Structure 1
Amino acid sequence: MLSKNQIKLISSLQKKKYRDQHQLFIAEGDKLVTDLLHSGTKAAYLIYSKDWKNQYTTAHLNSIENRIETDNSQLKKISALKNPAPVLGVFKIPSFDIDSKLVSSSLSIVLDDIQDPGNLGTIIRIADWFGIKNIFCSPNTVDLYNPKVIQATMGAISRIKLTYTPIEQLINKYKADNFPIYGTFLEGETIYQSDLQSKGFIIMGNEGKGISEDIEKYVSHKLFIPNFPIGESTSESLNVSVACSIICSEFRRREF
C-alpha cells in the first residue's frame, strides 16, 4: 500500500513546480504506461491494482524498484482522472540530445505559445502518426509533463522528442537558403497549390493570436487552408491541432 509521504509526493506532481523540482511526471492507464515502459523511459514508481498485475507480467516490472500494489480507494487519491485507471506510473523526466542532421533534413513542428494541454497532446500524436520526430516549443508553451498533455498523447510521448527553446534562436540556427520555414496565415497561398518540401519547420501559432509578429518575419512560405465551398461562409477558424493534422497530411501526401 502507499504511504502518506508517497501519496503526498505523487499528488504534488500535478503541479509544474514539483515536477521540475523532483524531475518526475505522472502517466495513467495501461496503454500509456506500457508504451513508456517499453520505450525505456525510467519509472520511479509503478502503482497498480491486483487485476492489472495479473494481466501484465513482464521483465519491465522487475526493473522497477518501487512497485506498489494497491486498491481503488488509494488510486483515487493520486489520480487526476475522474475514473482512476488500474495503473499509474511515476516516470523520470528524460534527457536527450537533438540530432541536428536529422532536423536539417526532415520536417519538424514548431509551436509558438500553444496554451491548451489537449492541443499539445494531440499535436504530439499527430507528429507521431506522420513520422515527425522533433517538436520545438516556445518557452511559454504549455508544459509537456502537465498530466492533461500526457494523457492526450496516448503514448506518443514515448516516441517524440520535444524541446523548449526560443523560436528565433532555433530558426537562426537552422535557416538557410534551401531550408523552408512554413506557417499558416489567412493571406497565405493555398496549401494544395503550394510547393512543399520534405524538410523544414512547420510553425503553428497560439490558439487565439496565431503566429506572433516576431516569428512571422522568419516565415518563408505562408500557407492557407481553404474552406469549402470556396466563397461561402463557414466556421471562422480551425482548431490548431486540426490545422496541424491537415498540414502534416498534405506534406506527407506529396511523398507518395
Structure 2
Amino acid sequence: MSRLKGVCMASRRTGGRAGGTGRQEAVGSASKCDGGKSTARIVRSAAPFHLCEAFTREGGAGVAGAVPSDLIHGAYFGAILCTSPPAAHVTRQQLKDLAALTRSRARREHGRFLVEGLRSVEAAVQASAPLEAVLVTAEAADDPRLGRLVAQTDAEVHTIAARDLERIGDARTSQGVLAVARSVVRDDLDSLEAPLLLLDGVQDPGNVGALVRTAAWFGIRTVVGDTATADFESPKAVRASMGGIWDVALARVPSLVPVLGRLAEAGVTAWGADLGGTSVGEWGPGASAALVMGSEAHGLSPEVSDWLRRQPPVGSRFVFIPGVEGGQPRGVESLNVAVAGAVLMSRWLG
C-alpha cells in the first residue's frame, strides 16, 4: 500500500482553543506524507477558517487551503489535509489488486478485506481494528469526521482519485473512504465462548452482516459459519454488520456438526430455529447456549437438523416464532432470517 501516497497529514496535540487577536504558529513533521519529507505550518487565528500550508524541505511551497476551525479547536489539531506533494499515480495493477478483495478467493489468499464507507471505517478505528491502510479521495478530505478519523488511526493514509475508489469498492455509491484490514475470521476453534450464534448455510451477505450486528448488540461472544454461509468479510456483510464484526469472535468451519458436538461436551445447549418446536414466548435457554440459524431458502441443513433432533430430550431442541393466530398468512412463508434471528436473540439475551 505504500505506493498509494499523496495525502499530507499534519496532526499535533495542543491545549486550549484557537482565538485572540494575535496569531500562533505550530510547525510539525508531516510524518504520513512522503515518508516525512514535508513539514506543515499551521497558522491559528481568530478567523473562522485557518490556513494549512505544506512546504517541502527544499523550500518549495505546497498548496494552501482553508481548513474548518473545528478541526483545530479542542484538545488536538485534527488531521489537517494538505496537498504536497501531489497525489501519486495509482497503477492499473494496484487498482486490480485492491479490487480483487471484493472476491472471496482473493480475500482468503491475501488474508485481507475491504471496509467501505465513513461509518464502517469509523467503527473500525474506534475498535482498534487491524487496519493496514485508509484510502480517501480529495473530495472526502473536506469532511471534519474524516479528519478526526485520520487523526486517530495508526494505519497509513493515502489519497486516491474518486473514479479509482469507485472501481475498487463494492458499494454503489462511494463515500470517499475505504480501508484495508487484516482478516479477523479464524479457522480454528481452540476456544468457544457462550453464548454463540451458529450460521448454517445463510447465503446472503447482507443477512450475515445483520446477524453479526444483532449478535454483537446482545452480547453474543462467538459467531460461527459453515462454508455454505456467506463470507463474514465480504464488502456487503461488513457494511451490514455496522461495526459488529469487530465486537465478536468470528470463525468459519467446513461443517457445524463437529462444533455442536464440542459444545455438547462443554455443557452448552444448542437450539435450532425452525417452524416447529418450542414457541419463542416459552423459550428460555439461558446464557450457556447456542442458537443455530438456517438458510433463507431451506432452513436448517439435514445434518444439523438430524443432530439436534437426536439430543435429549429427543426432538425438543427447536424454537419457532409464531405468526398471526388462526394460521399462517397465505403470501408469506417465513420471516427473513436476520429478522427472525433478532427476535430470538432479543428473547434469549435481551
TM-score (norm 2): 0.66
CA distance in 2, matches of 1:202, 1:68: 42
Per-residue CA distance 1:166-219 (angstroms, 9 max, x = gap): 211111112049531111222212121134222211011111111112111332
Aligned-pair distance for 1:99?
A: 7.2
Aligned-pair distance for 1:36?
A: 1.2
2:303 paired with 1:207: no
Larger strand share, 1 or 2: 2
Greater RCO (CA < 8 Å, at least 6 residues apart) = 1
Aligned-pair distance for 1:51?
A: 4.9
CA distance in 2, matches of 1:176, 1:92: 32
2:341 paired with 1:244: yes
2:268 paired with 1:169: no
2:136 paired with 1:48: yes
In structure 2, runs of 5+ residues without a counterpart are 1-86, 312-316
* The structure with more radius of gyration: 2
Q: Does the 8 Å contact 1:181/1:218 carry over to 2? A: no
In structure 1, runs of 5+ residues without a counterpart are none
CA distance in 2, matches of 1:195, 1:129: 19
Larger helix share, 1 or 2: 1
CA distance in 2, matches of 1:177, 1:51: 53
Q: How does 1:136-215 map to 2 (within 5 A)?
A: 136-165=224-253, 166-176=255-265, 178-215=267-304
Residue-pair matches, total: 248
CA distance in 1, matches of 2:326, 2:286: 26
Change (3 A) 1:225 1:50: same
Over aligned residue pairs, what C-alpha RMSD do you find? 2.2
2:323 paired with 1:227: yes
Q: Does the 8 Å contact 1:48/1:70 carry over to 2? A: yes
Name the structure 2 match of 1:94: 184
Change (3 A) 1:179 1:93: closer
Task: For 1:186, give the aligned amino acid.
Answer: L
CA distance in 2, matches of 1:232, 1:114: 23
Task: For 1:224, give the aligned amino acid.
Answer: F
Change (3 A) 1:21 1:205: same
2:113 to 20, 25, 29: 25
Q: Does the 8 Å contact 2:102/2:169 carry over to 1? A: no
Task: For 1:78, give the aligned amino acid.
Answer: I
Task: For 1:60, give the aligned amino acid.
Answer: Q
2:155 paired with 1:64: yes
Aligned-pair distance for 1:42?
A: 2.3
